[in-house]
Chains A and B, each alone.
Chain A
Amino acid sequence: MSTEGTQNASDRLMSIILAIAILVAVVASILVIWGGHSAMENLKLATGYATLIFLFFLSMVVLVDIIRNKINLSEMLEELSGGASMSRFQLLIFTFVIAFSFFVIVADQGKFPDIPINVLALLGISASTYAVSKGLQVSSNEYSEAVPKSNDATDSPAKLVGDVGDEKNAS
């Protein structure tokens, strides 16, 4: 059997497992909801369980694809030039730290917490650093690609400026 065939069989098996798991979750939810509640209570519970099941299996699919390398994260922390990027790395750290803190507070309080302005500022600085860093990298690459098109490979931008200056002097 070819590699592609094995991959297809593996995908099919994963789909079947996921379908069975979703079915089990839905049946279990119906059994839980099937209490002596009013129609409105049942509707609320059904909506909650449906949302929960959807989000859980969506995240499961993402996780499984990450683990099986169908979602490729190998360049997640890379600069355009190839090395690891400090700006991406610090954004990753802040995202996880604040996500875990958020989780702890929601788990304890059972409601959406107030987020202090300083925490928002930290996350904002972190994300802005990444955005500006990426902008610098992209503009630098575009500049580097544009220069050889307008000139010989041996000429530098500085040489270009020097040439313009010479022409002005000559005239």
Chain B
Amino acid sequence: MGLIAYAAIWLALAFLLSMLGALLWKMLGGQIALGGIFYGDHRNGTTYLSIGRIQLFVCVLMVVFDFALGMTARRARQAFPDIRLIWVVLFGVSAVLYLAEKAYALCQTAGISSHKRGNGNVH
């Protein structure tokens, strides 16, 4: 591998690490706020503890952990790890649940559900 390839690799590594470092620094310093990440919003501005967000977070952690385990395997440096289909399906289902809960919460409060029923009650 020539000098230019080594230079490109080290510069790419420096950029990725610097970007990650800058983001982590801002997250830890509170400039990028993570507050309320497990709380959803109703349309009227009230918040609630969101099961959909919590399960998505857990699912993301599991998938990333499995991916990282695959990357540490002996063959991993030559190709991306083989992600089992079950993880992809699980992540897809988790994402759909999160979106469904979010859509339901946004509709529920001010009226799309009430709108359909036409009963005049606002939840």
Contact = CB atoms under 8 A, between A and B. Distances in A.
B4 to A, nearest CB: 5
Nearest to B84: A118
Interface string A46-84: 001100100110010001001101000110111101111
Contacts, number: 183
B106 A93 contact: no
Among A90, A97, A132, A161, chain B packs the most CB atoms within 10 A around the CB of A90
A56 B78 CA distance: 26
Contact of A110 (B1, B91, B99): B1
A13 interface: no
Given A84-B36, A157-B114, A94 B102 contact: no
Contacts of A113: 79-80
Given A84-B37, A158-B114, A105 B78 contact: yes
Interface in A154-171: 156-159, 161-162, 165
B39 A162 contact: no
B16 A103 contact: yes
Interface string B91-115: 1100100110011001000111011
A108 interface: yes
Question: Which DSSP category, helix, strand, loop or mixed, fits chain B's interface?
Answer: helix
Nearest to B22: A66
B99 A90 contact: no
B115 A161 contact: yes
Given A74-B32, A76-B32, A105-B77, A144 B119 contact: no
Interface of A: 32, 45, 48-49, 52, 55-56, 59, 63, 66-67, 69, 73-74, 76-79, 81-87, 89-90, 92-94, 96-97, 99-110, 113-116, 118-119, 121-122, 125-126, 128-129, 132-133, 136-137, 140, 143-144, 147, 156-159, 161-162, 165
27 contacts: A56-B15, A59-B11, A66-B22, A73-B26, A73-B32, A74-B26, A76-B32, A78-B33, A83-B39, A84-B37, A86-B56, A93-B60, A93-B64, A94-B64, A97-B68, A104-B76, A109-B78, A116-B79, A118-B84, A122-B91, A132-B99, A136-B99, A136-B103, A143-B43, A144-B43, A157-B111, A158-B120
Interface of B: 1, 3-5, 7-9, 11-13, 15-16, 18-20, 22-23, 26, 31-39, 41, 43, 45, 47, 50, 53, 56-57, 60, 63-64, 67-68, 71, 76-85, 87-88, 91-92, 95, 98-99, 102-103, 106, 110-112, 114-115, 117-122
